[in-house]
Chain A
Amino acid sequence: MGRYVLRRVAQAVGMLFLVMFVLHLLTTLAIQLNGNPALAFFGDKIPSPAQVAAVEQRFGLDDPCYDQPGNPCLGPFVERLGQYAQGDLGTNLRGREVTDIVASAAPNTLRLFVMVTITWLVLGMVLGSVAARWRGSPSDHGIRLTSVLIDALPVFVLLLVYKEVVTVPLSGWAKETFGEDSWPPYWFKPSFDPEHPWATVAVPGILLGLAGSAAFIRLVRASQLDSYGGDHVRTARSKGLNEGRVVVHHVVRNSSIPVVTAVGLTFAEALSGAVITEGIMNIYGMGGVLWDAVQSSDVGLVLGIVTILTAVTVLVMIVVDIAYAALDPRIRYE
């Protein structure tokens, strides 16, 4: 197991390097094609000369390679990696450190993900298990229909409708029913409130989790059905174990393996969803900052946050891989 972890971590470092390189190549190509390296960082905004100078210095844009489309610009890449290694991810247009912004925004993103994960697991495990246990029953069909409907609802649309149509009447109703200073009005507040981070993040988190839960429901159902029909479950029953024990130790335990993998694979997608959620609901998290940065054309900040979030994704994949090995001995000893 120890050697497996070491090997995975080494692979993760390699992967991180590759991912950084691909991001760099794509960014470089985009800057080169844009035709005006320095101005590319300001979008439709008109920057002050001082801002242009800062960006040029920060990204080494005076390097002639940025004027030659197709040139991989390895020099600036190495330099940039050096800066990343020292924890320097640049500044936003107003000169605030990206790391500083991330440090203050990250806790809210974590809160959002806690809500999302709970929603995933609860909906996925409960509905998936029910559908598998009573396969072919009306509840199985109902759950399947629900998961198709969930799939058809883009996160963006779901949250937009929630924010623009549902929140105002709902929070008004909550204020009337429970009083101005009670909790419920905060749950349905159309935007984030730093005074009440958990309350204002809860519903957006549940909605985002709901949007991603369809895949989980299907996966839990399919893998539990596999397990129920599995020979090892028949063996467990033949030992005279009671059904509860068989379900927990032989059905749920075995079907947890693909579910954990799915958490890893869905993470990148969920991150995209988190950006949309935080953007629309004005949550001050990493995604919200990114959303605002895109809208206000602060490309330096966009680059910094995308880099960090991508690194986080690599990290999560490694954690999932290790959890996978802990759950499935066949992987560990390969």
Chain B
Amino acid sequence: MSAATDRTQATPSGTPLLEVTDLAVEFRTPDGVVRAVDGLSYRVEAGRTLAIVGESGSGKSVSSLAVMGLLPDTARVTRGSVRLGGTDLLTLSRKEHRARCGDQVAMVFQDALAALNPVHTVGYQLTEALRARRGLSRGDARKRAVELLDLVKVPNAKARVKEYPHQFSGGMRQRVMIATALAMDPDVLIADEPTTALDVTVQAQVLRLLAEIQAERHMGLVLITHDLGVVAGVADDVTVMYAGRAVEQAPVVPVYTTPAHPYTRALLRSIPSAAGTGRLPVIPGRPPSPAAMPAGCPFHPRCDAVRDVCRTDVPPRATPAPGRMSACHFASDIMAGREPAPEAGVTASASGGSVPEPKGDPDD
């Protein structure tokens, strides 16, 4: 099955290009086995952007490494499936899995200086996969490398393909990183904190570039970030992750206007705004260590709306509104901006019950 037929199959709107279901990843550590990702599900459609938001250690990067088959030796996928163009990647051999990477799904890494090989020219790295896997000639590869640099708007592309990564500025290097990922024309692009290492102004440029390319090519884009602020202008859907689980999943606008999880609400409050004058609120405490997960809702020690039930029961995946998911006992209350009733497990039943799939609601 070639990439081209995949694409025609996948293009009709509503059919996901990439669909992750109930993914769980464990790490072997000196302190025992810890679960870095626990039951994560999401889907990316052609032409849409999904933002995965979370603090470091929330499992957002680990889950994308699992999709790419790049988990370190100490990690293991224990559950779930990753369907790409109709095939579950996790059932493939390592070699077959690797063969789909770059081709159907590609990844942009965080620190381009480290992620690009310092001893090869930019041109070599841009087209290495094309030459090794599609047998491109040296001359064609050079032409293609220049095209790719032009695509990501690196000025003077013709001369710069002969240069080395350390000769590029941070922003330009990140563009090279993006171009490298685009070389094989992937259907889905996963960008792991692509702008974290950059200046704020450069961040905006790189994000805009990603959005443009995504729209132009009708790709699926997974944007991984810790900064809810950068998501607003770019994403279509948002998945907020906390301690290895998705705590809220929804289209982008309602997430901003009516967050349905206290964690999302707290994240939104901590975004600096131009109008803001007072002190920026911070979320107290730290994310739990995966080795010492609190009982009940993993967020309860830091939650400003915590109730007794949160300390004992893991919240179900509630559907407070069509197309939305929130892993909170009081999802409806939070979404409505109400404080949850003082002490009641009762509210849980009012929140619409649990659903296995984040977007599997029939009302969608």
Contacts and interface: CB of A to CB of B under 8 A. Distances in A.
A and B touch in the complex (CB under 8 A): yes
Interface of A: 230-232, 234-243, 245, 249-250, 253-254, 257, 327-330, 333
B99 A232 contact: no
Given A242-B95, A254-B118, 14 more contacts: A232-B118, A235-B109, A235-B115, A236-B117, A238-B68, A238-B181, A240-B100, A240-B133, A249-B120, A250-B117, A328-B119, A329-B166, A330-B166, A333-B166
Nearest 10 interchain pairs by C-beta: A240-B102, A231-B114, A239-B129, A232-B117, A239-B102, A329-B164, A240-B101, A231-B115, A235-B115, A238-B107
A232 B132 contact: no
29 contacts: A231-B109, A231-B111, A232-B117, A232-B118, A234-B115, A235-B109, A235-B177, A235-B180, A236-B117, A237-B70, A238-B68, A238-B107, A239-B101, A239-B102, A239-B106, A239-B129, A239-B184, A240-B99, A240-B101, A240-B102, A240-B103, A241-B102, A257-B119, A328-B118, A328-B119, A329-B118, A329-B166, A330-B164, A333-B164
B213 to A, nearest CB: 18
Contacts of A240: 98-103, 129, 133, 184
B101 A330 contact: no
Contacts of A243: 98
Interface string B34-63: 000000000000000000000000000000
Contacts of B121: 329
A141 B115 CA distance: 30
A160 B273 CA distance: 78
B128 interface: yes
A7 B296 CA distance: 67
Interface residues of B, number: 34
Contacts of B114: 230-232
B219 interface: no
Contacts of A333: 164, 166-167
Interface of B: 68-70, 95, 98-103, 106-107, 109, 111, 114-121, 128-129, 132-133, 164, 166-167, 177, 180-181, 183-184
Nearest to B130: A239
Contacts of B119: 253-254, 257, 327-329
A2 B116 CA distance: 26
Residue among A239, A245, A257, A328 facing the most chain B CB atoms (10 A cut-off): A239
Residue among A234, A236, A240, A329 facing the most chain B CB atoms (10 A cut-off): A240
Contacts of B116: 232, 235
A148 to B, nearest CB: 25
A245 B101 CA distance: 15
B109 A234 contact: yes
Contacts of A232: 114-118
Residue among A234, A235, A236, A329 facing the most chain B CB atoms (10 A cut-off): A235
B259 to A, nearest CB: 33
B206 to A, nearest CB: 17
A235 B128 CA distance: 11
A232 B124 CA distance: 13
A330 B132 contact: no
Contacts of A242: 95, 98, 132
B310 to A, nearest CB: 38
A243 B166 CA distance: 25
A176 B109 CA distance: 65
Contacts of B98: 237, 240-243
Nearest to A238: B107
B129 A241 contact: yes
Nearest to B68: A238
Contact of A237 (B101, B133, B184): B101
Contacts of A245: 132
B32 to A, nearest CB: 18
Nearest to B164: A329
Contacts of B95: 242
A222 to B, nearest CB: 18
Contacts of A230: 114
B94 to A, nearest CB: 8
Given A235-B109, A329-B166, A241 B132 contact: yes
Given A238-B106, A239-B129, A330-B164, A254 B117 contact: yes
A237 B97 CA distance: 11
Contact of B133 (A236, A241, A250): A241
A307 to B, nearest CB: 37
Contacts of B166: 329-330, 333
A294 to B, nearest CB: 44
Nearest to B103: A240
Nearest to A227: B117
Contacts of A241: 98, 102, 128-129, 132-133
Contacts of A237: 68-70, 98, 101
Contacts of A254: 117-119
